[in-house]
Structure 1
Amino acid sequence: MYDIKPLENEWKKYRKKKLKPWIIASVSLIVLSVSGIFLLPKSKIDFSKFDNSFVIASNSTYTEDKKIENSNRKTKSNVLINDPLNKLEIEKSVTDQVNIAANDSSNAFVDIPILDGKQEKTVRYGQKGKAKVHLDIVDTTSVTAYKDVAKRFEKSHDIDDSLFLARSYYKKGNYKKSEYWALATNKVDSNIEESILIFVKSKTKLGRKNEAISILKSYLKKSNSQEARNLLHRIENNKL
C-alpha cells in the first residue's frame, strides 16, 4: 500500500499557499473599512430644529384652539343676547302691521252650513310646496296683532289662524268677530267641531238663542257629540 500521510501534508501546504493571498486581502479590506468609519468627521444632529418646529406647531394649534373657543363663546353670547331681541322684533313687527279687511269682517255674516252626508270635501289651499310659518300670539291685547293674523289667513287660509281669532275674540267678548272667524274656519274645514261650537255660542251671546239652538240640534243629529250636547243643555237653561 502507498503511504498517504505525506501526500496529505503536501496537499495542505499547497492549499494554504493558494488561499493566503485571499485571506490577506479580506482582512485588509475589513481593516480599511473599520478605519474609514472612525476617521470620518463626526457630525452633530441639531435637535433644536425639531424642538422648535414642535413648539411652533404646538403654539399654533393652541392659538387656533383658543380662537375657535373664543369664537364659540362669542357666538353663544350673541345668541343668548339676541334671542330675546329677536322675539321682541317679531312681536313688534306683528303689532306694526294692519289689516283693513278685518275691520269690515263684522258685515260679512252668513248662516253656517249644516253638515250632511252629501257635503263636499273642503280642500285647504295655499299650503302646497310651502313650509308653514307660525306666529304664536298668546294673551295679547294688541289690535294690530290680531289684524296681522287675519291678513295672513287671507293669504294662507290656515285654519290655525282663523280658529285662533275665533277663540280670542270670543274670550274678549267681541262676539260678532268671533262668529265671523268661526264661520271662516268652517268654510275651510267643516269637520272642526270647535268652530261650530264657537259660532253657536257667539250667536247665543248676540241674542240669537233660537237660531243657535236650531244649528246645534242639526249638528247633533250628524255627530252625536257629547260636548255639543252639553252646550245645548247650557244654552237651553240660560247657563252660558
Structure 2
Amino acid sequence: MKNLLEGRTAVVTGAAQGLGLAIAKAFVAEGANVVMGDLNEEAVKEAAAGLGVGDRALGVACNVVSLEEVEILVTTAADRFGSVDVMVNNAGITRDATIRKMTEEQFDQVIAVHLRGTWNGIKTASGVMREQASGGSIINVSSISGKVGMLGQTNYSAAKAGIVGMTKAAAKEVGFKNVRVNAIQPGFINTAMTAAMRQDVIDAKLAEIPMGRAGEPEEVANVVLFLASDMSSYLTGTVTEISGGRHI
C-alpha cells in the first residue's frame, strides 16, 4: 500500500519539540519530505537529523512573526523538493497572566506569534499551492482554549479563537484552487509544558475529560496526518477537536 504522503513535501513550524516534532515524525513515516521551522535553530536542526531520514528532513531557523522568514522557510522547501504540499502552522507560545496583571507586551507577543504567524504561513504557503495543479493542504493549530476560554489566557484564548476565524475565511478564498485550510483544537496533551504543571492542576483537568486521560502528541499528529492526506480531500474550513471529549 502506498504511503499517505509519498513524494510530497510538508512544512511544519514550531517543529523542534512537542506537537510539531510529533507531526514531523508522522509525516516522514508516511513518505513525506519535511522542512521543519523553529525559533531555536540548533534544536530544530538536531530534531530533523534525529528523524533518521537523511536529506528528506531539513531544519531551518524561523521566527513566524516575520513574513520574510516564513517566505524563506517555504521557498526553501519548494527549491529543495520541488513543491509545497502541506503546511502546518503550529508555532506557539504562552504568556499566561490574569488580565489585571498581564502586560501589553505579553498580550502582543502571543497575538503576534499565533495570529500573525499563522497568517504569514497561510499567505505564503497558499501562494505556492494555488500555482500547483495538485493544490495543497494547510493545517492550523488552534486549541480548546480558543473554544471555551481559559483563566489567565485572555491573550492565548483570543489568538486561538482568531485562528478558527482565519481558517474559515482563508478556506473560502483558496478552495477553488484545490487548496484546503483546516484547523485542529487539541485539549490536554502530554507535553513538556503540561508535565510542569502542579499535580492538583493536572487532576482537575483530567476530571473534565470523559475519556479520563490526557492525549498523546502522536494522537494529535495522526489527525493532522489525516488532514494533510487525500483521505480528507473534501474537507476544508473545518475545526477538529482532539480533546478526549473535554468541553464538548
Same fold, judged at TM 0.5 (above)? no
Structure 2 length as normaliser, TM-score?
A: 0.24
Q: Between Structure 1 and Structure 2, whose CA radius of gyration is higher? A: 1
Which structure has more helix as a fraction of its residues? 1
Which structure has more strand as a fraction of its residues? 2
Using CA pairs below 8 Å that are at least 6 residues apart, which structure has the higher relative contact order? 2
